[in-house]
């Protein structure tokens, strides 16, 4: 394992941040630094962050005066990070496999043309409803996963990128407002550059999808900005999805 920079924006929802670290501290032993971008003002979140800092020298926090939004927060963390592998996470995820971080880095180290990898993601904790027939994502093919369990697309709740990506492609587009579509935009740019994205099948997480976005205003103009930017480009992954996938609530 090479050292990893982990970046996590937070905006309130302290109960998710508390649960995140309970799970994280049990599954991660790799060499890492952890950068928290705190976009909120609530005391409960500040107390949880301070408790983590006091017990783990690898964690530090950047306090923002206002919510800077997803792209700007990710970029803020990337600029402050120091390692060659960058993992961006939400605070509303839980880790269901012990070596989720190592496995994602292995995907990138074994494939120099893979510029983004995400873990397999489930949206239920009920093991009877989870399906484990997982296929990697390659270029515009997004697999045949069952839509009621696994995301048939790669999203920004948890992903790892080599630093060289940003040297090649630049950072995330901060013209996106607050939330939504900034992850899809970056994947389009990866595909446009002739490189690929891939799911790491051996890494598995649970995502409480929408936990923060439901309480966060803004982002309403992002769909039109995304459409204007990519339109009918053959690298627009959203426009290339079959109708069944395009109708998923996330895209509405």
Strands 93-95 and 196-207: antiparallel
CATH number at residue 123: 3.90.550.10
Quote the mean pLDDT of the chain.
83
1-43 pLDDT, tens digit per residue, is: 899 999 999 998 999 999 999 999 988 877 999 999 999 999 9
The 3 state secondary structure assigned to 54-120 is: HHCCCEEEEECCCCCCHHHHHHHHHHHCCCCEEEEECCCEEECCCCHHHHHHHHHHHCCCEEEEEEE
* Cα 137 to Cα 8: distance, rounded to the nearest angstrom: 24
3-class secondary structure, 51:
helix
As a whole number of angstroms, the distance between CA 252 and CA 238 comes to 11
Range of the domain at 185: 4-251
pLDDT band of 241, cuts 50, 70, 90: low
Q: How many domains does the chain have?
A: 1
21 CB-near residues (< 8 Å, 6+ apart): 48, 52
List the structure tokens of 162: 């080599």
Place 249 in a pLDDT band, splitting at 50, 70 and 90. very low
Q: Average of pLDDT values for 74-78?
A: 98
* 191 vs 142: CA distance, rounded Å: 13
pLDDT band at 153 (very low <50, low <70, confident <90, very high): low
Q: Is residue 197 very low, low, confident or very high in pLDDT (cuts 50, 70, 90)?
A: confident
Q: Are 188 and 139 in contact (CB under 8 A)?
A: no
Q: Name, of 118-122, 141-145, 157-161, 200-204, the range with top average pLDDT.
A: 157-161
Cβ-Cβ contacts under 8 Å for 187 (sequence gap 6 or more): 116, 154, 197, 237
- Would you list the DSSP string of 156-172? TTEEEEEHHHHHHH-S-
pLDDT of residue 201: 81
pLDDT digits (tens, 9 = 90+) for 97-112: 889 999 999 999 999 9
Q: Give the whole-number percent of the chain exceeding pLDDT 70.
A: 80
Ranking 71-85, 94-108, 135-149, 201-215 by mean pLDDT, the lowest is: 135-149
Q: How far apart are CA 26 and CA 147, in angstroms?
A: 30
Q: What percent of the chain has pLDDT over 90?
A: 56
Instruction: Find the length of the chain.
Output: 252
Least reliable range by pLDDT among 45-54, 145-154, 203-212: 145-154
CA distance 130 to 133: 9
Burial annotation 55-72 (CB, 10 A radius, 16+ → b, else e): eeeebebbebeebbbbbb
Better-predicted residue by pLDDT, 140 or 85: 85
């Amino acid at each position: 394992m090479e050292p990893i920079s982990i970046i996590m924006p937070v905006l309130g929802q302290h109960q998710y941040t508390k649960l995140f670290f309970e799970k994280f501290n049990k599954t991660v032993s790799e060499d890492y630094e952890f950068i928290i971008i705190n976009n909120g003002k609530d005391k409960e979140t500040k107390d949880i962050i301070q408790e983590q800092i006091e017990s783990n020298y690898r964690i530090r926090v950047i306090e923002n005066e206002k919510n800077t939004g997803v792209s700007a927060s990710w970029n803020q963390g990337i600029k402050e990070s120091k390692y060659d592998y960058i993992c961006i996470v939400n605070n509303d995820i839980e880790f269901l496999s012990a070596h989720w971080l190592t496995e994602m880095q292995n995907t990138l180290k074994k494939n120099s043309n893979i510029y983004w990898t995400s873990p397999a993601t489930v949206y239920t904790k009920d093991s009877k409803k989870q399906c484990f027939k997982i296929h990697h994502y390659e270029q515009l093919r997004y697999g045949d996963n069952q839509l009621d369990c696994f995301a048939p697309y790669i999203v920004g709740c948890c992903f790892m990128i080599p630093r060289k990506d940003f040297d090649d492609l630049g950072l995330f587009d901060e013209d996106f407002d607050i939330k939504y579509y900034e992850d899809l935009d970056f994947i389009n740019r990866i595909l446009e550059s002739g490189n690929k994205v891939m799911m790491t099948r051996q890494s598995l997480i649970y995502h409480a999808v929408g936990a923060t976005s439901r309480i966060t205003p803004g982002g309403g103009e992002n769909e039109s900005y995304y459409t204007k930017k990519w339109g009918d480009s053959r690298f627009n992954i959203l426009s290339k999805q079959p109708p069944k996938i395009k109708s998923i609530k996330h895209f509405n």
